[in-house]
């Protein structure tokens, strides 16, 4: 007979033990990933705050806001400072935050969510060299334009151009007329306009800059005609002003003002002196052909044609 072997119950794992082991195997990596993502977010927030503060401090030490405000406002002392340092530091802060969020999403293995943002950030970083080149060109343009405006303004101030051209004691002296300031601002904006196509080209905006380039080429092509017209107008105006003074003085010296006063040409009664009327008549007669010649120099028949026909 075979020996009887006692039958013992097999050690079967309890259902609770199986569930706990499986749960811990699935949850533990998720918890670790979540903790890692939170740590990345916290570290990114700290780094973003530090970099933003450093950026703002450096820009404020350089007085970027005040200098830019004074430059854009033509050197006014009571100008409210711009907030360029705040804008730049805020941009740096959120850029670091976005990078931290992308790293946290990758840690959580949420590729479907992070991939579009990653592609966007990659495109932004790929565009940064072009943006940096455009910023350098814009800075160079701004500096050159500011220096040119300062030089022109200082030169006209030393030459006392406004005082020589416009005597405040004259009856027709324009209020607040500053030729030197106008020429300085014109030089500033001409240099800025010259750099606009270069800046847009550095940003690789080919199709968008075509109209701007065409406009700029037309402007450059018109500059010689514009300068010629301005020279003609300036010379004609100086001749008209000189002749007006000569005629007014001759009429006044001849004593005709007294005769004109007998006919009601008396300033004390609200009229004008005969010498002033004669000088102004000569002034207008010289300015009319001067304006026509200036319009002819601009090569705009629609403007010069009627004036030429009137004088013919």
% of the chain exceeding 70 in pLDDT: 70
Average of per-residue pLDDT across 111-127:
76
Model confidence at 168, in pLDDT bands (50, 70, 90)?
A: very low
* CB-based contact 180:152 (threshold 8 Å): yes
Average pLDDT of the residues in 269-277 = 69
Which pLDDT belongs to residue 154? Answer: 81
Range 247-275 average pLDDT? 69
Confidence check: pLDDT of 174 > 50: no
Q: Residue 179: CB partners within 8 Å, gap ≥ 6?
A: 156, 161, 162, 165, 166
The span from the CA of 207 to the CA of 309, in Å, is: 44
**pLDDT, tens digit, for every residue of 136-167?**
898 888 889 888 888 888 887 777 666 666 55
Most confident of 4-18, 74-88, 169-183, 261-275: 74-88
DSSP 113: H
CA–CA separation, 201 and 66 (whole Å): 30
The Cα–Cα gap between 66 and 161 comes to 30
pLDDT band at 54 (very low <50, low <70, confident <90, very high): very high
The whole-number pLDDT of residue 43 equals 92
- Per-residue pLDDT at 162: 63
Mean pLDDT of 194-221: 75
Pair of tokens at residue 162: 């406004």
Confidence at residue 18, expressed as pLDDT on a 0 to 100 scale? 46
Whether 294 contacts 306, CB under 8 Å: no
**What band does 173 get if pLDDT is binned at 50, 70 and 90?**
very low
Instruction: Write down the pLDDT at residue 17.
Output: 46
Q: What is the pLDDT of residue 84?
A: 78
Lowest mean pLDDT among 84-93, 106-115, 237-246: 106-115
Percent of the chain clearing pLDDT 90 (strictly above): 4
Domain boundaries, the chain: 28-109, 221-312
For residue 144, give both structure tokens. Answer: 């050159």
pLDDT of res. 53 = 92
**Whole-number average pLDDT of the chain:** 75
Q: How far is CA 291 from CA 180, 224, 243, 268, in A?
A: 22, 17, 16, 34
For 97-112, what is each residue's pLDDT tens digit?
888 888 888 888 777 7
Is residue 38 predicted with pLDDT exceeding 80?
A: yes
Task: Please tell me the distance from the alpha carbon of residue 284 to that of residue 65, in angstroms, as a whole number.
Answer: 49
How remote is the C-alpha of 176 from its chain's centroid?
A: 26
Angle between helices 111-159 and 179-202 (to 10 degrees): 150
CA distance 26 to 28: 6
Range 140-144, long-range pairs (CB < 8 A, 24+ positions): 140/195, 141/191, 141/192, 141/194, 141/195, 141/198, 141/199, 142/71, 142/192, 144/191
Q: What are the C-alpha distances in Å from 130 to residues 96, 126, 140?
A: 20, 8, 15
Q: Which residue has better confidence, 279 or 220?
A: 279
pLDDT at 14 over 50: no
């Amino acid at each position: 007979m075979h020996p009887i072997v006692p039958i013992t119950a097999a050690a079967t794992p309890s259902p609770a033990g199986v569930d706990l082991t499986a749960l811990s195997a699935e949850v533990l990596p998720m918890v670790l990933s979540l903790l890692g993502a939170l740590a990345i977010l916290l570290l990114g927030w700290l780094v973003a705050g530090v970099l933003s503060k450093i950026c703002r401090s450096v820009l404020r030490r350089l007085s970027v806001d005040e200098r830019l405000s004074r430059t854009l406002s033509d050197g006014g002392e009571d100008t409210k400072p711009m907030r360029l340092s705040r804008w730049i530091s805020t941009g740096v802060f959120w850029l670091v935050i976005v990078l931290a969020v992308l790293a946290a999403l990758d840690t959580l293995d949420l590729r479907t969510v992070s991939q579009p943002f990653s592609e966007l950030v990659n495109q932004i970083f790929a565009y940064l060299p072009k943006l940096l080149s455009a910023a350098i060109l814009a800075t160079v343009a701004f500096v050159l334009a500011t220096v040119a405006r300062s030089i022109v303004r200082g030169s006209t101030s030393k030459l006392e151009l406004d005082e020589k051209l416009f005597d405040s004691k004259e009856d027709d002296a324009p209020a607040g007329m500053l030729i030197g300031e106008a020429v300085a601002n014109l030089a500033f904006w001409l240099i800025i306009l010259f750099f606009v196509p270069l800046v847009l080209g550095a940003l690789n905006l080919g199709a968008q800059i075509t109209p701007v380039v065409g406009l700029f080429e037309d402007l450059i092509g018109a500059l010689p005609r514009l300068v010629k017209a301005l020279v003609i107008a300036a010379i004609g105006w100086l001749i008209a002003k000189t002749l007006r003074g000569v005629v007014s003085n001759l009429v006044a010296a001849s004593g005709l003002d007294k005769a004109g006063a007998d006919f009601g040409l008396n300033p004390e009664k609200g009229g004008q002196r005969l010498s002033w009327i004669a000088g102004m008549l000569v002034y207008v007669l010289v300015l009319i052909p001067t304006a026509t010649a200036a319009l002819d120099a601009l090569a705009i028949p629609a403007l010069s044609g009627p004036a030429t026909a009137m004088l013919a």
